[in-house]
Copies of this chain bind each other. A is one copy, B any other.
């Protein structure tokens, strides 16, 4: 067993892992896949942040898919990101088929100074990959005092309202708003009734699913997860969710001249071709409007009004978007990240891919 495998094996029996340790492991795995150290660290940080926030489904569980793509050559480990300004506040970014997290970080970091100059800036990104959680990037902007809207398309799993063929993704929408002296508001939602991962989970567990989650291949509501996975996920709120998914698609893939969602490859299936995901980010400087101080005070007053409301269930008052994640992060930074079977399984699966690759290369006489 190599050193990386040993570090994973050493986790056996432990209940938690520190964020730093998890980040170091994820960084090492990505670096072994050919990603430059600094990039590997950036990607690991975003994945670990999702774990910290309790977003298991968007965190380290994606590492095996990233590793497989990087090792198989369907994801470019060393992308040359290109920023092509169309006008002075807008640009197309070609992600060069690199990891989506790198492209999204690049977009936010390039747009921030442009938004500060013009009040608003936007970029559409093409030839990207799965970017994890939108909240990570809108919070990256919020930490610089900037409002950010983020959109992405995704592989087709959702039919337009009234149809049964999935030609849209569960296209996420994210929005971040800095709050003075408090964690930012960070909305991050798919436009589908449910995450596909929830249906896969029901399939594994052999349980029924609610009838308003999905349709079977004939377009009938179904409670059978197997039939649902052969059919289509439903948009949230019917025609409204479909409209929002289409909005995210058009902002992402048409402005960037990227691949439409119905031609995007799933990050979970090895298709031997680049995924071709598109994103769009709009970054807004409150100083371009009424000024950061007034804007922040207004936002804080609204947030405080909501946070001060009694809950229908007195034990759970209403939360601001992102609030649960912020609380979970604070807790996990202190107590460690829960080392669930799916988390340790993901780490092991990624290392297994690396080992297989090394074995294969060794048997071919290639230096790993």
The chain B residue with its CB closest to the CB of A193 is B237
Which of A8-16, A68-76, A118-126, A350-358 lies on the face that meets chain B? A118-126
The 4 closest A-B pairs by CB, nearest first: A90-B119, A87-B119, A90-B288, A257-B290
Task: Please tell me if the beta carbons of A321 and B243 are within 8 angstroms of each other in the complex.
Answer: yes
What is the CA–CA distance of A257 and B301 in the complex, to the nearest angstrom?
A: 12
Q: How many copies does the complex hold?
A: 2
Within 8 A of B (CB), among A58-115: 86-92
Write the nearest CB–CB distance from A30 to chain B, whole angstroms.
30
Instruction: Digitize A289-326: 1 where CB-to-B-CB distance is under 8 Å, 0 elsewhere.
Output: 11100111011011001100111110011111100000
Task: Please tell me if the beta carbons of A187 and B247 are within 8 angstroms of each other in the complex.
Answer: yes
Q: Say which residue of B120, B246, B301, B311 sits within 8 Å of A260 (CB atoms).
A: B301
Write the nearest CB–CB distance from A21 to chain B, whole angstroms.
32
| Cβ–Cβ < 8 Å partners of A309 in chain B | 159-160, 163, 165, 167
What is the CA–CA distance of A177 and B311 in the complex, to the nearest angstrom?
A: 39
Q: Is the interface of A mostly helix, strand, loop or mixed?
A: mixed
Which of A31-39, A200-208, A248-256, A341-349 lies on the face that meets chain B? A248-256
- Does A228 count as interface, using CB distance less than 8 angstroms? no
What is the CA–CA distance of A258 and B278 in the complex, to the nearest angstrom?
A: 34
What is the CA–CA distance of A58 and B90 in the complex, to the nearest angstrom?
A: 34
The chain B residue with its CB closest to the CB of A89 is B118
Write the nearest CB–CB distance from A187 to chain B, whole angstroms.
4
Instruction: Digitize A231-248: 1 where CB-to-B-CB distance is under 8 Å, 0 elsewhere.
Output: 000001101111110110
Write the nearest CB–CB distance from A144 to chain B, whole angstroms.
16
The chain B residue with its CB closest to the CB of A118 is B89
| Cβ–Cβ < 8 Å partners of A328 in chain B | none
What is the CA–CA distance of A92 and B294 in the complex, to the nearest angstrom?
A: 12
